Amino acid sequence: MKKENILVIGGTGKTGKRIVNLLNAKGHNVRVGSRSATPAFDWHVPEGWDKVLEDMDKVYVTYQPDLAVPGALDAVEQLVKAAKRANLKKMVLLSGKGEREAQLSEQVVIHSGLDYTIVRASWFNQNFSENFLLEPVLDGFVALPQSEVQIPWVDADDIAEVAVEVLLNDQHNGNIYQLTGPETLTFPETVATIAKATDRQITYVPVSLEEYSEGMRKAGLPEDFVWLVNYLFDVVLGNPANSEITNDVETILGRPAKRFEQYVAETEATGVWNVAAHQANA
């Protein structure tokens, strides 16, 4: 396999950092697209994108905080134009499974004239260890809406491996993949699995979306973040079609998708849920 020059936008994030590591291990030339990198990539500074895209062959794109938010569509349109100016060959876009607004950005990539693959992912396992659910787990008190929804949790390791496969192999050009885990679990079931593995008491309390939103506002979270969480809980999790389990991870990687229980065992071993360690570092 020839060495390629690949830009990973969001290269310090949950999927991006994993993709960077996998591509480096395969001997490719990887450029991390982030505000802390040199040259820096910032979604709010498009005038700097040409420099970041220079000499790159392919690009993996993850938009923060989510493709569903206002402004994402315009940003992706500008990025596509910059990618074409730079003569990039291929774009792989991380999207959200069941997010109608995100599909507008997908269409920009699909009709860009570039080779592309769209990767739609369900909710990440790593939300409990690298995102907004970590602190509630450490506190031993998780209050969330949509407690009865069956969610086909997908692991960031699987997403990263799929992304690397579709980046490097042209047989995936023009395809849309929907990535899920091999099972569905509700929020109470996921919390109970983590509690058992960590031998801790973690209480799950169902709340309404209105109560959850008000709690975020009282915590001082910005209104655009509150809007996004509302959208994800209401529109995405509220759609029964999004409980569908797919086989795309296994089809692409030739192995089953990671089960939530396996993710929990691996994560527990890292110590990230070790309350005493967190308190010591606080």
pLDDT of 3-40, one tens digit each? Answer: 999 999 999 999 999 999 999 999 999 999 999 999 99
Rounded mean pLDDT, 91-118 = 96
In the predicted model, is pLDDT for residue 281 greater than 80? no
Quote the number of domains for the chain.
1
On whether residue 225 sits in a domain, the answer given is: no
Domain assignment of residue 50, given as a range = 5-124+154-180+242-258
On whether residue 217 sits in a domain, the answer given is: no
Rounded mean pLDDT, 241-257 = 97
On whether residue 71 sits in a domain, the answer given is: yes
Instruction: Provide the pLDDT for residue 100.
Output: 87
On whether residue 138 sits in a domain, the answer given is: no
Position 20, amino acid: V
On whether residue 149 sits in a domain, the answer given is: no
On whether residue 188 sits in a domain, the answer given is: no
* pLDDT tens column, 141-157: 999 999 999 999 999 99
* pLDDT tens column, 215-234: 999 999 899 889 999 999 99
In the predicted model, is pLDDT for residue 271 greater than 90? yes
Please, which pLDDT band fits residue 78 given cuts at 50, 70 and 90? very high
In the predicted model, is pLDDT for residue 205 greater than 90? yes
In the predicted model, is pLDDT for residue 278 greater than 90? no
On whether residue 43 sits in a domain, the answer given is: yes
CATH number at residue 168: 3.40.50.720
Please, which pLDDT band fits residue 198 given cuts at 50, 70 and 90? very high
On whether residue 82 sits in a domain, the answer given is: yes
In the predicted model, is pLDDT for residue 282 greater than 70? no
Residue 71 CB-half CA count within 13 A: 9
pTM confidence score:
0.96
Contact 156, 13 (CB under 8 A): no
Please, which pLDDT band fits residue 276 given cuts at 50, 70 and 90? confident
